[in-house]
Amino acid sequence: NVIKALKSIARNQQVKTKIQESEELYPLLKRAAKRFVAGETKEDGIIEGRELLNKGYAISLEYIGENTDSVEECECAKERFMDLMESLGEASMSSTISLDLSHIGLSVHSGIALKNLRELAAKAKKYSLYIMISMEESNKTDRIIEIYKKVSREYDNVGLTLQVHLNRSEDDILDLLHYPGKIRLVKGAYQEPPNLAITRSDELNNRYLQFAELLIKKNHLTSIATHDESIIQELKKRGHLNQDNVELEMLYGVRADLMKCLKEGDYKTRVYLTYGTEWYLYLCHRLAEYPPNIYVALTDMITP
Ligand code: FAD
């Protein structure tokens, strides 16, 4: 219920406007967001990204935005990503760019998302960058997979996120093995109806392990994107994490202690770092997926 409440608060435009207008609350929330977000600008993302690279982590960068519902907004979002890639190229920074297809056109028309993704993939190729497509609500899964498959046939620097909680993923993963892109395995962040997905449970963790094992044994490029220590330890025990095709990926600000240990243990580690003015929605998601973070956020808000 806490999760539902937080997610609906996050998406409520009136609440958001009220918060943005509040001279007291807005700066406090911004302070709480600092734990999870590099800052509001591309420069903030690049500075923090550079720090992480210097510490020995690989990075995924995302410019956070909302669903764009006009052609102009999609173009604008695409240009932001283009600009980010140019800056990374100029700074000779190796990075993955993570994005939602809804941010670059899926909410308007699949054709726009496809066109924009192709352009972004071409630019990424030029700078030796990699693009990871995020996975969104289940009513978009088919379209996202279809676009990924098309672009993956043309560019080998584009990968896809797969949500283990969706029942359909058992078939999707077998199909996706035929495409070269990296598969990032996540449990799934969206609430889905019970006929489509399973909730957090041993069954979900076992399914996660089964998918991870399948990808790794097939030598497919794989990102183990979870903060779940039990899954990571089990994969470690089975000897699956030392392979070259496997990396561990976590969100910036989440389980940094575990990530550091893994890095020091010589495992390939990647931090998913975001920046942008739409940090509010991102913060609400982080709080919703792990309610103890609410206390952490409150502490951050009152600590000078
Ligand atoms: P959980 O079972 O949720 O958590 C396991 C344990 O991890 C918790 O007990 C806690 O100790 C720790 N933990 C988890 N979350 C937090 C947190 N926020 N703060 C502190 N501790 C925490 N989801 C999508 O639906 N689509 C995507 O495209 C997508 N991309 C992602 C990319 C990356 C790199 C990562 C890491 C996640 C992504 N997610 C995405 C989110 C994912 O689906 C999960 O919601 C999220 O990772 C939490 O699940 P978990 O695997 O960590 O396991």
- The pLDDT score that the predictor gives to residue 3 is 66
Maximal C-alpha separation, the chain = 54
**Domains of the chain (ranges, CATH numbers):** 2-16+42-103+124-298 (3.20.20.220)
Ligand 1 contact via 187 beta carbon (within 6 Å): yes
CA distances from 259 to 227, 229, 265 (A): 9, 10, 10
- The pLDDT score that the predictor gives to residue 28 is 85
CA distances from 102 to 125, 137, 281 (A): 22, 10, 15
Residues of the chain above pLDDT 70, percent: 96
pLDDT in tens, 218-247: 999 999 999 999 999 999 999 999 999 999
Q: What is the mean pLDDT of the chain?
A: 93
- The pLDDT score that the predictor gives to residue 21 is 80
Q: How far is the CA of 251 from the centre of ligand 1 (A)?
A: 8
Confidence tier at 301 by pLDDT (50, 70, 90):
confident
pLDDT in tens, 194-207: 999 999 999 999 99
Ligand 1 pocket check: which of 228, 234, 252, 300 to mutate, most ligand atoms within 8 Å of Cβ? 228
Of 303, 259, 276, give the one whose Cα is nearest residue 39. Answer: 276
- Interval 46-70 mean pLDDT: 93
Distance (Å, rounded) from C-alpha 37 to C-alpha 214? Answer: 33
Nearest residue (CA) to ligand 1, atom 28: 134
Distance (Å, rounded) from C-alpha 84 to C-alpha 288? Answer: 29
Ligand 1 pocket check: which of 36, 204, 226 to mutate, most ligand atoms within 8 Å of Cβ? 226
| ipTM score above 0.90 | yes
What residues have CB less than 8 Å from 59, skipping those under 6 apart? 49, 52, 53, 93, 95, 96, 270, 271, 272, 273
pLDDT at 63 over 80: yes
Ligand 1 contact via 272 beta carbon (within 6 Å): yes
Q: In this structure, are residues 299 and 32 in contact, taking their beta carbons and an 8 Å threshold?
A: no
Question: Which pairs from 283-287 meet CB under 8 Å and 24+ separation?
Answer: 283/29, 283/32, 283/33, 283/36, 283/37, 284/6, 284/7, 284/9, 284/10, 285/7, 285/10, 285/189, 286/36, 286/251, 286/253, 286/254, 287/6
- The pLDDT score that the predictor gives to residue 13 is 76
Distance (Å, rounded) from C-alpha 86 to C-alpha 94? Answer: 12
Residue, of 278 and 220, whose pLDDT is higher:
220
pLDDT at 292 over 90: no
pLDDT at 304 over 70: no
Look at the pTM and tell me if it is higher than 0.90.
yes
Ligand 1 contact via 190 beta carbon (within 6 Å): yes
pLDDT at 66 over 80: no
Distance (Å, rounded) from C-alpha 152 to C-alpha 165? Answer: 24
Which stretch of DSSP H or E encloses residue 222? strand 222-225
